[in-house]
């Protein structure tokens, strides 16, 4: 298992929309130059849009889990600071 995978998920969610725009611009240019009457580039845009939504959803899941674990750690630390220190 790659320990940097969660960070890679978040990085992909930030970088991928820019890559998708570049790919879409290239495909739109090719479509405009080769078949201006038939706009097949709309299907490329749909696929890239779905891929972008999936990437962002994965990153939000990672950030939500990281936030929940951080909140749990802070709560445990506060609990230990108040009550746990007396037990030790």
The confidence score (pLDDT) of residue 83 equals 83
Of 29, 67, 20, 87, the C-alpha closest to 47 is 20
Per the CB < 8 A criterion, the answer to whether 31 and 41 are in contact is yes
Both tokens of residue 15?
């970088």
Per the CB < 8 A criterion, the answer to whether 15 and 65 are in contact is no
Residue 72 has pLDDT above 70, yes or no: yes
Which of 1-5, 16-20, 44-48, 76-80 is predicted with the least confidence, judged by mean pLDDT? 1-5
Q: What is the dihedral of CA 16, 20, 26, 27, to 10 degrees?
A: 140
pLDDT tens digits for 8-57?
999 999 999 999 999 999 999 999 999 988 999 999 999 999 999 999 99
pTM for the whole thing?
0.79
- Token look-up 């009457």 returns 37
Alpha carbon distance 13, 22 (integer Å): 15
Query: Helix (H, G, I), strand (E, B), or coil: what is residue 37?
Result: coil
């Amino acid at each position: 298992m790659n320990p940097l995978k969660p960070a890679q998920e978040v990085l992909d969610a930030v970088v991928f929309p820019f890559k998708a725009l570049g790919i879409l611009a290239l495909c739109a240019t090719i479509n405009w130059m080769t078949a201006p009457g038939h706009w097949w580039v709309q299907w490329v845009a749909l696929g890239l849009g779905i891929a972008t939504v999936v990437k962002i959803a994965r990153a939000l899941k990672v950030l939500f889990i990281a936030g929940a674990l951080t909140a749990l750690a802070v709560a445990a630390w506060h609990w230990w600071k108040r009550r746990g220190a007396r037990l030790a």
